[in-house]
Structure 1
Amino acid sequence: MAQLSWAAPSAQALLAASDAVRNPDQSFGLINNLIEYRDGKQIDSSTLAVYARADRKTGQFRNLIRFVAPQRDAGKLLLKNGNDLWFFDPSSKASVRITPQQRLLGQAANGDVMTVNLAGDYDASIGAEEEIQDGERQKRASYRLDLTAKNNEVTYHRIEYWLDRNNSRPIKAKFYSNSDRLLKTAYYRHFQTSLGQERPTETVIIDGLDPKWITVMRLSDWAYREVPESWFQRDYLPRFNPEQAQ
């Protein structure tokens, strides 16, 4: 472990800078393709349309997520407004409160597919300056941030989060449960320019117990867009029209 330099920036500022790498600064939409692998073989997949808009008061993103594929899930919705998370099934017209920790597909939990500014949910400290291998097997000089949840509503109790020292890009993260069990490890890679910033377009998530159980999240079709306030109201979910979102 390298000694921290006197010129090391504040951990919270680094975390906020990393949030800006991952997330645009205004409302937007994208497509999230999830692919689950076991022992190197694809066993499941899902396609989600994500619509995100930051709350003016808190700076935290609110999300509406529409299931696009497979056909059995098409039209289902996830809504995150503040700390409230709801799942809506159009076949039953019922919305059910869920937790961000519940699994959506493979290693991806509900909270993993949401647009989140980590600096709003976690207190950060700089644990070390380290050279690590990134998701494309390149050596990177990094800061390791130790993140502690500000409340019990967030997806993970504790996160170890490695950022590139040169540009605050996320490199790697380890996510822990309340009992301090390693749940998963994630690598952020394939940076491409989207909405004015080079952002990670692929996240590889590896199970904490079984390294052969892997979920890949691929982000595409980034676009600035108006996301109506009505979309974030639970009562509106039964009236949501996918054609409005095209």
Structure 2
Amino acid sequence: MKLLFVMSLLLSSASFAAVDAQALLVASDAIRNPDKSFGLNSTLIEYRKGKESDRNTLAIYSRPDNGRFRNLIRFVAPIRDAGKLLLKDGNDLWFYDPASKASVRISPQQRLLGQAANGDVLTVNLALDYRAVLSGEEEIQDGERKKRACYKLTLKAVSPDVTYHGIELWIDSSSKQPVKSLFYTESGRLLKTAYFRHYQTLLGAERPSETVIIDGLDPTWVTVIKNSDYAWRDVPESWLQRDYLPRFKPE
């Protein structure tokens, strides 16, 4: 019996050691992100102590570029923000306000609504910006209160231009679906917790249609990102140029 127990531990350790953390992160990215140009609508809803306090709606256009994505984000609602734009071109993030007709460089860490930062609505392949280490295997409760057997990854940023310095990410061990993330500052302070939920068939794959973000200090401060209207679409090169922003008109 003791021999069988030892053999079981050895097999389990060997199986764990064989898991490629970076490959897991790549697989998780592929579930979150289509591999061709696409568009979608995203509604961000902020809740304080269970009551809605604010919301906005964005139209997002994404185009792959050597493994990364270039993004144009158009503010749709509320009316006070309609027509404002965010452009991600390489590591540069620009905000354009049609009222002033000026575009200014901003940070992906800057808050967009509630607990959602600018970087949270951009299409991003984490495997290009972070190095993953396998930290363990855990059974956790997902965003729909179901138990999921997961691999836990610890991600460290390889560039200062990313939204978060460090991330802990739980990935379903069978489906490779992202389940939960913790986001940290450079000093190690917890900023927020995110759950990826409501998986649906979107552009040929099962992808999360909602992200629930919970403040790291105040769990009653919650932001829900609801994605809808996914569609393959051409995203013209001209849309992704800073100089073009004043002339941009949605089709």
**TM-score bracket relative to the smaller structure:** over 0.9
- Determine if the alignment matches structure 1 residue 28 to structure 2 residue 41: no
CA distances 1:9-46 after superposition (whole Å, capped 9, x unpaired): 21110000000000001000000000000000000000
Residue in structure 1 matched with residue 240 of structure 2 by the alignment: 232
**2:158 counterpart of 1:173:** no
Structure 1: where are the runs of 5+ without partners? none
Determine if the alignment matches structure 1 residue 124 to structure 2 residue 132: yes
Gaps of at least 5 residues in structure 2 are 1-8
Per-residue CA deviations over 1:55-81 (Å, capped at 9, x if unaligned) read 13xx11110000000000000000001
1:44 matched to which residue of 2?
54
Residue 156 of structure 1 deviates from its aligned partner by 0.2
Structure with the larger helix share: 2
> Is residue 152 of structure 1 aligned with residue 157 of structure 2?
no
Q: Secondary structure at 2:100's aligned position in 1?
A: coil
- Matched pairs, number: 240
SS of corresponding position for 2:28: helix
Q: Look up the match of 1:138.
A: 146
Partner of 1:20: helix, strand, or coil?
A: helix
CA RMSD of aligned residues (A): 1.2
Letter in 2 for 1:218: K
* 1:179, distance to aligned residue in structure 2 (A): 1.2
Residue 139 of structure 2 corresponds to residue 97 of structure 1:
no
SS at match of 2:246: helix
- Rounded to whole Å, the distance in 1 between the matches of 2:130 and 2:63 is 20
Which residue of the other structure, out of 207, 220, 229, is the alignment partner of 2:228? 220
Deviation at 1:5, TM superposition (A): 3.8
Question: Per the alignment, in what secondary structure is the counterpart of residue 236 of structure 1?
Answer: helix
* Distance (Å, rounded) in 1 between the aligned partners of 2:200 and 2:167: 25
Q: How far apart are 1:212 and its partner, in Å?
A: 0.1
CA distance in 2, matches of 1:40, 1:195: 32
- Mapped to 1, the partners of 2:13 and 2:192 lie a distance apart of 30
> Which AA in structure 2 matches 1:167?
S
- Measured in 2, the distance between the counterparts of 1:152 and 1:112 equals 16
Cα distance in 1 between the residues matched to 2:73 and 2:164: 20
Tell me the distance in 1 between the aligned counterparts of 2:129 and 2:24.
14
Q: C-alpha distance in 2, partners of 1:62/1:121? A: 14
TM-score normalised by L of structure 1 = 0.96
Deviation at 1:167? 1.0
Tell me the SS of whatever aligns to 1:6: helix
Is structure 2 residue 77 aligned with structure 1 residue 69?
yes
In 2, Cα distance between the equivalents of 1:230 and 1:168?
A: 35
Give the residue type in structure 2 aligned to 1:144: K
